[in-house]
A and B are shown apart, each in its own frame.
Chain A
Amino acid sequence: QSALTQPRSVSGSPGQSVTISCTGTSSDVGGYNYVSWYQQHPGKAPKVMIYDVSKRPSGVPDRFSGSKSGNTASLTISGLQAEDEADYYCFSYAGPYAWVFGGGTKLTVL
């Protein structure tokens, strides 16, 4: 049950796009289309932004998109806004006996 690998930090200017990667194995990210992404502001509970690799819950701006290739999933945020500054976590189903989070990525909007 090793954590999925994410970059510790990414940054971008308002209006730009950033991509956060999430690398696992064929037993988790690569084996199932059950990757989700969560946004967490300081002191708050996480909020789902993407589920099942690329689906967006109602109310989440279409600036947020997800994809997957092999054992790596990605979250792309386009048209960066100040309120996007937060921590982002990927999460994957890893078979019938486990789920696993990524280590988290701090997004800074410059």
Chain B
Amino acid sequence: EEQLVESGGGLVQPGGSLRLSCAASGITFSSYWMHWVRQAPGKGLVWVSRINSDSTSTIYADSVKGRFTISRDNANNMVYLQMNSLRVEDTAVYYCATGLGNYYDYWGQGTLVAVSS
């Protein structure tokens, strides 16, 4: 069974850092581009970042560019999101998501990041 499981969320102060992890199973991980998507409380889905299958290409939404870094470990079927200089407006549930086309077949359950003093 295909599964994505996020971890690493929590409460952090503005300006702080957090590293999210996403463990994949049941898929040929190295074949999939991996994405992070976030959803602020009561708000809509927002695309955050994407990494290609061999880590040679990463892209980011303007709102996180220069502060967030996506990476992956194909040997261990993991994708990460390093979040630095966190702002109150980064508060959201963060999902990892993937699919073989330009859409998402699989989603994790999400991990909550709360940025507050």
Q: Which residues of A contact B (CB under 8 A)?
A: 1, 3, 32, 34, 36, 38, 40, 45-48, 51-52, 57, 87, 89, 91, 93, 96-104
Cβ-defined contact, A48 with B103, below 8 A: yes
Chain B residues closer than 8 Å to A104, beta-carbon distance: 44-45
Cβ-defined contact, A36 with B102, below 8 A: yes
Cβ-defined contact, A99 with B107, below 8 A: no
Known interface pairs A89-B44, A104-B45; 18 further A-B residue pairs with C-beta atoms within 8 A, sorted by A's residue number: A3-B44, A36-B102, A45-B95, A46-B45, A46-B104, A47-B107, A48-B103, A51-B99, A51-B103, A57-B105, A89-B45, A91-B103, A97-B59, A98-B47, A98-B59, A99-B47, A101-B37, A101-B46
Cβ-defined contact, A46 with B107, below 8 A: yes
Q: A38 is contacted by which of B46, B102, B104 (Cβ under 8 Å)?
A: B104
Interface band, chain B: 20 to 34
In the complex, which residues 60-117 of chain B have their Cβ closer than 8 Å to any Cβ of chain A?
Answer: 61-62, 95, 99, 101-105, 107-110
Subset of 9 A-B contacts with CB under 8 Å? A3-B44, A34-B101, A36-B102, A46-B45, A46-B104, A47-B107, A52-B103, A99-B35, A101-B44
For residue B109, which residue of chain A has the nearest CB? A45
Chain B residues closer than 8 Å to A57, beta-carbon distance: 105
For residue B4, which residue of chain A has the nearest CB? A45
Cβ-defined contact, A100 with B104, below 8 A: no
Chain A residues closer than 8 Å to B45, beta-carbon distance: 38, 40, 46, 89, 91, 101, 104
Cβ-defined contact, A36 with B104, below 8 A: yes
For residue A46, which residue of chain B has the nearest CB? B107
Most chain A CB atoms below 10 A, which of B35, B44, B46: B44
Bound Cα distance from A93 to B107, whole angstroms:
18
Q: What distance in Å separates the Cβ of B115 from its nearest Cβ neighbour in chain A?
A: 21
Cβ-defined contact, A34 with B103, below 8 A: yes
